[in-house]
Amino acid sequence: MILAPSLFNSDLYLIKENLQKLDALGITHLHIDVMDNHYVPNLGFNANLVKDLKKHTHFVLDCHLMLDKPELSITHFIEAKPDFITFHFEATVHHIFIINMLVKNGIKVGIAINPSTSIESIKMLLPFIDLVLVMTINPGQKGEVFLPFTLSKIAQLSSEKQKNNFHYDIQVDGNITDETILPCIKAGANNIVSGGFIFNNNELEQNIAKLKKAIH
């Protein structure tokens, strides 16, 4: 199981200190939210932060593009060289173009789906994908409640993966806490994004310990 803290929820003043804490806790992956205040009603990080993290850390960088028409800015993020770039299925009609761009540049391909998007709609893309991100809340919103019906989509993705011998990770993101993490894992998720819970009160050690305890 991969635990990927969402850096957007860190106190920005304490990012360097928090990265050191995460490293000491054995965290290997970071989730980087990029938001354009258009596709989602919020602003997030940009390609420059990804580039700096790549230069100064050894985390696996998972870049989540919550952008309208990601094909227009994908080059900037490819140049930053994250390990994964995830784009939203609903944000573009140029899925294969983006996938081919990422593969050509040696970046693993992620595709994200909002709570109301069906697995059926992305089935044709699953053979080309390294990661499927199931949003368990409405993306880019604060204070959203975990949506239990998304668990069935995780289970469906897990079934498709086993049936067809696909290789993608199943990632979940959205109000993942010590209460919601276990149902996600039982449904088939193996890549867990948690932000608000992990960075709550800047008690990273205690909050990560709670997540780990919840799944054992």
Q: Which residues are catalytic?
A: 33, 173
Q: Cα-atom radius of gyration of the chain, to the nearest Å?
A: 16
| Distant-in-sequence, close-in-space partners of 29: CB < 8 Å, separation ≥ 6 | 2, 3, 4, 5, 59, 60, 61, 62, 191
Choose among 216, 185, 197, 215: nearest CA to 31.
197
DSSP category for residue 149: T
Dist CA 128 CA 109 (whole Å): 8
- Residue 191 near residue 157 (C-beta atoms within 8 A): no
Dist CA 68 CA 73 (whole Å): 9
Q: Decide the pairing of beta strands 29-35 and 131-135.
A: unpaired
- Report residue 9 as tokens: 């929820």
Q: Decide the pairing of beta strands 84-88 and 191-194.
A: unpaired
- Report residue 133 as tokens: 């991100």
